Homo-oligomer: A and B are copies of this chain.
């Protein structure tokens, strides 16, 4: 289970995500990359809302300013409310990971004082990040609503399998809001507690909501054949049965590359290499992404806050992938899904 990303998924009519240490400074504990967060929020607004006029919804007090900024008049001019059909899911980035790994929350054992304390500390850290993301989206006029999996009553069974009633999320979307979910420490009916990762949440939501597409925003351009720092690393542009590279996905989410036909690509490429990430998080990501793709939903893994992520978020890649687009598409033709 990894806490290092930031994702978005959506419902029936649209879907788009985020991930990687895309909006936090991964090597600095609990540090948000404010610039990237602002760019990502702006891109989401452009993908979601019809109007370019930004009417902020974060009316919190700013540091050093005693008044609260609330442009009531700006809303009086606004005649209609945009409908969004969008879900944002984020991981922990540099939030939560330290607290979880130092206490072993992911392994369970709530009767141990350290695990119990780590559970509390992890939730404080990830909800701090969630609040900052909700505020950033609200500043862009996106009607974002923070929702913690723990509070939603979601749990796990044996560490991974989510036990989640998604009806509250569906009701929130239906009411015109954008739910902002996150990887969280949750109760587990076998081991007491566990970490429910953002990637697992996205897969679960995708299966329930059947979105048109899912976008994973990361801090790298996409999935590479080798660690991006190695000279022979190749960006895998498309993963799927009928594309340059084939990936076989088991029912349990395990996967392997079955058709490595990329030019210049070493045939001995290994899964652990192809699925590279500094914390190993990309392994889970590709696995979850492949499970989503098996449902007939296109998945885009793309670098956050770039011209490539704009294209993925807007949904225009569904018609055609432009030649100059950089990122990884994971898709299976619907016929194969059957």
Contact = CB atoms under 8 A, between A and B. Distances in A.
Given A30-B68, A59-B98, A124 B114 contact: no
Contacts of A61: 29-31
Contact of A116 (B81, B102, B150, B168): B81
A144 interface: yes
A124 B113 contact: no
Which has the most chain B C-beta neighbours within 10 Å: A78, A121, A143? A121
Nearest to A192: B175
A153 to B, nearest CB: 4
Contacts of A112: 75, 81
Interface string A133-157: 0110010000111111011110000
Which has the most chain B C-beta neighbours within 10 Å: A31, A70, A172? A70
Given A75-B114, A120-B57, A145 B150 contact: yes
Contacts of A171: 153, 187
A31 B65 CA distance: 12
User: Which bucket holds chain A's interface residue count?
Assistant: 35 or more
A176 interface: yes
A70 B168 contact: no
Contact of A177 (B58, B78, B79, B120): B120
Given A29-B61, A110-B176, A128-B131, 10 more contacts: A57-B124, A59-B98, A59-B102, A60-B125, A72-B102, A72-B114, A148-B148, A148-B151, A152-B153, A153-B171
20 contacts: A29-B67, A30-B60, A30-B61, A58-B121, A58-B124, A59-B98, A60-B121, A117-B143, A123-B145, A123-B146, A124-B131, A124-B146, A146-B151, A147-B150, A148-B148, A152-B153, A153-B165, A153-B168, A175-B187, A175-B192
